[in-house]
Structure 1
Amino acid sequence: MKIKHLTAIVAFLMTTLVFCQDKQITLEEIWSGQFRTEGMQALHSMANGKQYSVLNFNRQNRTSTIDIYDYVTLEKVKTLVSSADIAEIQGFFDYKFNSDESKLILTTQSQPVFRRSTLGEYYIYDIATKKVTKVSDQLVQEPTLSPDGTKIAYGFENNLYVKDLTSGTVEQITTDGEKNKIINGITDWVYEEEFSFVRAFDWSADSKQIAFIRFDETDVPEFSMDVYGSELYPTQHVFKYPKAGEANSKVSLHLYNVTSKKLEELKVNKTYKDFYIPRLEWTNEANVLSVQYMNRHQNELDLWMFNTKTMDAKKVLAEKDKAYIDVTFNLTFLKDNSFIWTSELDGFNHIYHYNKDGKLINQVTTGDWEVTDYYGFNEKANTIYFQSTENGSINRDVYSIKLNGKNKKRLTQKTGTNSASFSADFTYFINTFSNANTPQQYTLHRAKTGELLKKIIDNKALAEQLEDYMISEKEFSTISVNGNALNMWTIKPKDFDATKQYPLFMYQYSGPGSQQVANRWNGANDYWYQMLAQEGYIVVCIDGRGTGFKGADFKKVTQNELGKYEVEDQIEAAKQLGERNYIDASRIGIWGWSYGGFMSSNALFKGNDVFKMAIAVAPVTSWRFYDSIYTERYMTTPQENASGYDDNSPINHVDKLKGDFLLIHGSGDDNVHVQNTMRMVEALIQADKQFEWMIYPDKNHGIYGGNTRLHLYKKMTNFIHSTLGDSSKASKN
């Protein structure tokens, strides 16, 4: 009897173990944050180089704290500020130091404007006196403390203001700001979206001058979106949006002297027609301002130095490219005002060192690989720190190198995606590492050698949690397509049997310089792909021509013909994969979002003998509908390149549709307007093509909020089941 009882227990335990390892991922788990990783929020290295600060939030008592930790021990040294000790505020969710770390800007409320811009309520916290000062009773933009901590500048209703923190007086610097006409010191929509910055003003090192860009949007055409909301009548959101070939904002550079109250325009001694000012930054010299000017085609970039004392301007660097030049945030001025610059001059993105007059001192890094991030320069050790793809284009490692280009060291050892946050004096760095099999790990290292000193966060609990699930390996490989070895990842069902045939579901984004095939930990979509693999699909992602981190020639081959070579690569790759014995060539689908939706639409139409179905989320359907800066960077204008715009836009190929097509968009998308989908729908109707579509009311380009993401992914999953797989698996709820 005892033996039988023991046997039953063992059988039960074995069954339980197998069951645990066979747990299936659900959409509800994915979009409820079940698989969220733990991180370090708002990490900031203190100026002493020995400590760092992190924003912590106590969910039990609902308090926010900025806590100081010691690099060596990783122990908390003190709490710098707690919302529990500040009567004026209930809590804060972000913070920013001034340059000498005597004051903090605390963000207590914010509401989004566009992708990067917000209107917010801010308070200044004086660390020595613990005094709290509200920046403004209004919701303002981009509050920035002067380097000496005595004043704060910010944007409000398209004008710039400066508040004196001693007297409390507020001075309005500009007065001509007006919605949809003039913006001072804050970028317009297209600059924010495509040049990736919002604050278009900067304090000089001595806190006596503010330089800013003024945007005259008067001639920019307006775009109008209906906002349906919950009231009886909808409202309209009207904003300036320059589509390809249309008028841009007229930009000008201005200088405000805080002492004399003088406001004047700064001009260069070169006539630019229809130009951009994508960057401005004061150098280490209080009277020398650096400004980057770029032509509309974005294949010429000039770096100018303004001496605001003599009012002279000197062009110190001029770059030209046969296609386009990427604008970066990597410009760094050294003590002697020589500067670090990154460029694709030799065909790969590398680091260069120029003297203050723009004469090349030396190319610091070189090789058939890309510098993907620049971390900074250690003056004392004469050393630059950077991230690169030298260990393979799907991987990232952290390196150091002397300013003269010698003594390069790899500071990270694990293969995957490594990134670094250095201490202010470059003694230490906190490395964030992950790969396809390892969730984010935060570790402390010695910057000089890369030596591991301590583990900080390892997300071990998440890794253990996932052991209960049917997780398939993400397999990395290359596939030879149209003369190129393209990076690819594959997720197969856990119980994959090479003697069986499976439907193939392809994902891609494919935009210029992008990368989806990367050796890093899961995003939400990766869990969705695992779920689909559980349900019998093979999921594949391929980075075709035009994507990034394999050199300028590979990236820029799509110039003037977006959607030609990228689509050819996806179609040919699908054909090759369909020839594999374990893939059912009659059940191949493809999907993508934004540029990826543009691609999946084209792939289904042009590859109608290869793809059975496609899902396009928030797609560009004609480049004529998209913004000037992004589109013209790769296509010039439609007036110059009509065939490039029209030949590869899916809206012009709807007559080729044979398979199943699901089109999805948010009606409140300020980026890729729902106009794209509406025009596509009309074209499909007139071509007498049947299709499915879904509009999410008032949702932006990200299509999220409340239950939206869960609904969206149920919609897509059901469509996949009904077109490629087992329709009985479709959820009705």
Structure 2
Amino acid sequence: MRKILLSITAILWVTFSFAQTKPLTELTVEEIMQDQAKFVGTSPSNVSWSKDSKNIFFTWRNKDEESSSTFKVGKSGGELTKDDDRSEGWPSRYVYNKDESKIIYVKGGDIYMMELKGKKETQITGTNVRESNPQFHTDDIVTYIADNNLFSVNLKTGLMRQLTNFTISSNDDGPSRSRASNGNSGNKDQDAWLRKDQLETSAILKERRNRPRNRNRFRGATFGNQVQAAADRRDRVELDNVRNLQLSPDGKFVSFSVYKAPKNPAKNTIVPNYVTTTGYTTDLRARSKVGGEQGHSEIGIYSVEGDSLYMVDVEKLPGITDLPDYVKDYPDRKVEKKPRQVSANNIIWSENGKYAVVNFDSRDNKDRWIMQLMPASGELKTIDRQRDEAWIAGPGISSFAVGFLPDSETLYFQSERSGYSHLYIYDFKTGTQKQLTDGNYEVYNPRVSKDGSKWYFTANMKHPGIRHFYSMPIKGGKITQITSEDGNNNVSLSPDEKTLAVLYSYIDKPTELYVQPNKPGAKWTKITDSQQEGFKQYDWHEAEIITFKAEDGADVHARLYKPENPNGAGVIFVHGAGYLQNVHYWWSSYQREYMFNNMLMAKGYTVLDIDYRASSGYGRDWRTGIYRHMGGKDLSDQIDGAKYLMEEHNVEAGRIGMYGGSYGGFITLFAMFQHPDIINSGAALRSVTDWAHYNHGYTSNILNTPIEDPIAYKRSSPIYFAEGLKGDLLIAHGMVDTNVHFQDVVRLAQRLIELGKDNWEMALYPVENHGFTTPSSWTDEYKRIYKLFDRTIGKK
């Protein structure tokens, strides 16, 4: 009898389990696009460790709560507790001394020191000026910045010295980009009525008005006695926008940077906001457009002993007058060969004080120099020059992550010289370079172990879409994989380097927090369970990672969603950002689109999601494949993907749709305009239509500037090809988009009207910026996309 009861219980449990799983055919747009925290869940983020390596802190929104909080858990797992003071009584931003027995930090605008044994706190300064950026110069000397000057204080004697005497000739870093105030109308009663009426007609505005405001309640307390200041008498020097003051280890020099604002700054644009709480249209100040004059930074050296300074001369940088190759396309243009504008980053000093290193980058984006600076003379010596006729970028390169090894005789940096971003070192004694990592993979976030014996870094060695955590001897050698599960392993190493806190996810599994001993293949412990019951009810599809051949023979990676009962139609999803990876083995940042693709697949559509040319994770040549022609190889990769669907998966010609946002919207427009025989319907969301109207930082890398290289802009902008539209097009855009302005699609709409096109429609979202924030807008947009495909390609 007992065996029979157990069997019945097992049957009931299995039946109940299956009853809890919904088929993907039941998915609806409304369900997918609802508040993601309530449907999918909120994954942990912002991981950090306690100073003693015993506890992990992270930001998380538990399933039953309305907002995120800071949680704490022990390194071995166990109970989660809320702890919004993740510092455990320590300041959130602090700097250690060399033996990590003291920390220095800012509180209430003054400098404080804490001796960690006993947590004794001492106030170092007590002035009416706000101090910042405290650093331990030696164990007894602390430097800090106040009123744009560098000061030092002797912790033993209390003597404070003013090391520089700079005054700012201009604090104007360019016009503010905040909301432009339109003021009141002068009729208070009318204004009040309009504000009230706005809340009656928009639930979103009412929610925003009632949202609690975050107020800073901190009041600085004073501890200890104020030290006595003794400032040196120094000649006053007037400079523009002094920044990044730093005392050399030997105390002889102060390095600093000076920001040079453009003499003729580019005009900022205006984005009108129509749905406001006041009832009046408000102008939002936004970015300038590509091509305007840009500011730059210069590096200066001040001699403390000589009370003199100089600015580093960049005109002697190797290749400073080199012209870019694209000028050959303009044979009639007279080009003057002169030193290019260069921007300098901070000086990096070796701990022993023997070496100073400066990073420079050219404003035309073609060069990066790492130079040794002789501070006494200003002489520069080349450590590394990277030249790219497209543009300098890649993991660990665009941010100029450069530093010294613990021996103070070796510099490390990353370069794409081999075609992929790899780790290099430079030996100052021999003047030679050595490449430490090599292969068809990228290195991310390298760091040196505390004992200086090894490297830790993340890399996609196994597959472009799989990232593991690795270690390697400090001067190169055998690379050891530490994490085990394929997917994305985003590791935070404990201060004692014995334990890993890992944010891990897989294709169909959102990110969760795990803890693992810092040993290869060690077993880990799961800390969080973030998925909501609504999300768990579905058996989400693990998209297949495939490759297909592009027209030029390149292998293109893609995610394939293959239905059990195909309807003969295909859909291509195009990810945004250009330089972004979405064909990988971890949870996508496009989670709504992942679920929408699941829904399309369940309805019979074969869906393809492509890492087209310019996507990240595939090295320099893939990254720069769109140089001077956006809508070239990035678009042809999509068209080759469509052909792959027809040739390999029985998708019928004339039944292929496309959708995507931002860069994905741009590609969708181009596909509809240039390949109407292949892409038959499309939804272009928040799309760029004319690159001459986008921002400078992103666009000038890829297309240079409109004045210098108009050929690149004209062949890269869909608005010039709108006459090719034949299929059905949906254009959707937020009206307060401060990234890709609503003006982009307004100009395209006028172009389509003038061309007599009537096979397009536009959906406008009055309260949305570039990234939508309200479920109602998401739902409306994706219902329109689904209806478009259902009407145009979904049925024979």
Same fold (TM over 0.5): yes
Deviation string for 1:51-86 (max 9, x for gaps)? 65546789989997685x654677899979479999
SS at match of 1:376: strand
Deviation at 1:168, TM superposition (A): 14
When residues 263 and 37 of structure 1 are mapped into structure 2, their CA distance, relative to the original with a 3 A threshold, is farther
Aligned-pair CA distance for 1:298: 1.8
TM-superposed deviation, 1:216: 0.4
Aligned-partner Cα distance in 2 for 1:534–1:202: 59
Q: CA deviation at 1:243?
A: 0.9
Distance 1:124 1:708, change over 3 A: farther
Q: Distance in 1 between matches of 2:391 and 2:144?
A: 37
1:97-122 per-residue CA deviation (whole Å, 9 max, x = no partner) reads 3345736679xxxxxxxxxxxxxx99
Q: Which amino acid aligns with 1:566?
A: D
Q: Please, which moves more after superposition, 249-258 or 389-398?
A: 249-258
Which residue of 1 is the match for residue 288 of structure 2?
241
Match of 1:375 among 434, 446, 462: 446
The question of whether the paired residues in 1 share the 8 Å contact of 2:34 and 2:775 is answered with no
Cα distance, 1:103–1:63 mapped onto 2, change above 3 Å? farther
**Structure 1 position 98 matched with structure 2 position 115:** no
SS in 1 for 2:556: strand
CA contact (8 A) 1:510 1:566 kept: no
- Name the SS for the 1:616 alignment partner: strand
Q: Which residue pairs with 1:194 in the alignment?
A: none
Deviation, structure 1 residue 662: 1.6
Change (3 A) 1:312 1:625: same
> Do 2:357 and 2:371's aligned partners in 1 also have CA atoms closer than 8 Å?
yes
Displacement of 1:519 after TM fit?
0.9
**Equivalent residue for 1:251?**
297
Q: Structure 2: how far apart are the matches of 1:469 and 1:36?
A: 11
Unpaired segments ≥5 residues, structure 2: 1-6, 178-241, 321-338
State the partner residue of 2:385.
318
Tell me how far 1:599 sits from its aligned partner. Answer: 0.8
Is 1:389–2:389 an aligned residue pair? no
What is the deviation of 1:489? 0.8
Aligned to 2:336: none
C-alpha displacement of 1:363 = 0.9
After TM superposition, the structure 1 stretch with the greater mean CA deviation from structure 2, 433-442 or 18-27, is 18-27
* Contact 2:558-2:608 at 8 Å conserved across structures: yes
Matched, 1:201 2:244: yes
Name the structure 2 match of 1:350. Answer: 422
Residues 602 and 76 of structure 1: CA distance in aligned 2, closer, same or farther (over 3 Å): closer
Structure 1 residues 71 and 651, CA gap change in structure 2 (3 angstroms)? same
Deviation at 1:150, TM superposition (A): 6.6
What are the within-5 Å matches in structure 2 for residues 116-155 of structure 1?
Answer: 128=119, 144-147=133-136
2:343 matches 1:298: no
The verdict on how the C-alpha distance between 1:239 and 1:435 changes in structure 2, with shifts beyond 3 A counting, is closer
Aligned-residue Cα RMSD (Å) equals 4.7
- The one-letter amino acid paired with 1:521 is W
Change (3 A) 1:311 1:612: same
Partner deviation per Cα, 1:226-266 (whole Å, 9 max, x = no partner): 3323435434344562513x322243335689999998744
Shift in CA distance, 269/611, structure 1 to aligned 2, threshold 3 Å: closer
Match runs of 1:416-565 below 5 Å: 416-447=487-518, 449-452=519-522, 454-459=524-529, 462=531, 466-482=535-551, 483-493=553-563, 496-497=564-565, 500-509=566-575, 513-522=579-588, 523-565=591-633
In 2 relative to 1, CA 687–204 (structure 1 residues): closer, same or farther, beyond 3 Å? Answer: farther
Q: Which residue does 1:217 correspond to in 2?
A: 262
Which residue matches 2:172?
Answer: 178
Do the aligned partners of 2:575 and 2:609 also contact (CA within 8 Å) in 1? no
SS at match of 2:505: strand
Cα deviations by residue, 1:123-163 (Å, 9 ceiling, x for unpaired):
9997646799999999x9x9744457977659xxxx95889
In structure 2, distance between residues paired with 1:466 and 1:692: 33
Deviation at 1:702, TM superposition (A): 1.9
Displacement after TM superposition at 1:302 (Å): 0.8
Distance 1:303 1:452 in 2: 39
Number of aligned pairs? 671
Amino acid aligned to 1:339: L
Contiguous gaps of at least 5 residues in structure 1:
1-5, 87-93, 107-120, 184-198, 728-733
* CA contact 1:220–1:240 (8 Å) conserved in 2: no
Structure 2 CA distance for aligned equivalents of residues 699 and 137 of structure 1: 42
Hey, what's the Cα distance between the residues in 1 that align with 2:82 and 2:657?
55
Could you say which residue in structure 2 is the equivalent of 1:412? Answer: 483
Q: Does 1:667 align with 2:735?
A: yes
Higher mean alpha-carbon deviation, 713-722 vs 598-607, is at 713-722
- Judging changes above 3 Å, is the alpha-carbon distance between structure 1 residues 73 and 593 closer, same or farther for their aligned structure 2 residues? closer
Task: For 1:517, give the aligned amino acid.
Answer: V
C-alpha separation in 1, matches of 2:127 and 2:658:
50
Alignment check: 8 A CA contact 2:437 2:476 kept? yes
- Whether contact under 8 Å (1:37, 1:440) holds in the other structure is no
Query: In the alignment, which residue of structure 2 is the partner of 1:612?
Result: 680
Corresponding residue for residue 48 of structure 2: 44
Q: Which amino acid aligns with 1:400?
A: S
Amino acid corresponding to residue 665 of structure 1 in structure 2: H
Give, in angstroms, the shift of residue 650 of structure 1: 0.8
